[in-house]
Structures are given as C-alpha cells and as structure tokens.
Amino acid sequence: MPKLTIIEFNGEAHHLEAEAGKSVMQTAIDALVPGIMADCGGSCSCATCHCYVDDAWVARLPAPESAEREMLECALDPQENSRLSCQLRLTPQNDGLIIRLPKSQV
C-alpha cells in the first residue's frame, strides 16, 4: 500500500496508507483530512480538491491532462506544482508522495 503524507496549511501532517489505484482526494476524504472539499466528487469540474505537490515529486508524477490543466485555472493561488488531488492516482511508483494543502482551503 503506497504511503501518502498530506500537510495542511497549518502544518499538521497526516500520514496515510493508501489503497493502490485510489485518488489522493478520495484517500484524504476517507481519512477525514480537512481542507479537501471535493464538491464534484472527483469528476474534475470544481477545483475544490486543489493541492500542491511537494517539489521532490513534481517531475515523478504523470503530467496533468488538458481537463485538469483547464480546471486548475479556476483554483485559488495556483502555483507551478498545483494539481487536482482527484486526478492523482496512488500507485506503488509514488509511494511516499507528499502533498500540501493551500491556504484557500483552510
């Protein structure tokens, strides 16, 4: 099971064991991590699951597809390492992934 760390804007870290194939968003919701609203349920149409990928992981993840890139334009405080957590699938290859949550989702 891939390990995932989600760090809230206030610095609180959540260390999770994730089910392979599940999204970062769903893993966070299931673990009751605050700061990810996921209003659209993961259909890439709300941007309320916006997150920042730790710099060490940005190049190791598949690039966002066009729908995700377009929806990220609706996110508050987008950065180079912004992603939609509903579009990030956890796999053995990204075991240890670190995600940070933006201030806008406190």
Residues 27-86 interacting with ligand FES (rule: CB under 6 A):
38-40, 42, 44-49, 71, 84, 86
Tokens of 29: 């919701």
Number of residues binding to ligand FES, judged by CB under 6 A = 14
Nearest to 97 by CA among 66, 52, 32, 43: 52
| 88 part of the interface to ligand FES, by CB under 6 A | no
Could you list the beta-strand ranges (E) of the chain. Answer: 3-7, 13-17, 50-53, 82-84, 97-100
Residues 6 or more apart whose Cβ sits within 8 Å of residue 52? 79, 81, 82, 83, 99, 100, 101, 102
Residue number of the CB atom closest to ligand FES = 86
* Closer by beta carbon to ligand FES, 42 or else 78: 42
* Closer by beta carbon to ligand FES, 44 or else 58: 44
* Closer by beta carbon to ligand FES, 16 or else 84: 84
Residues that bind ligand FES (CB under 6 A): 25, 38-40, 42, 44-49, 71, 84, 86
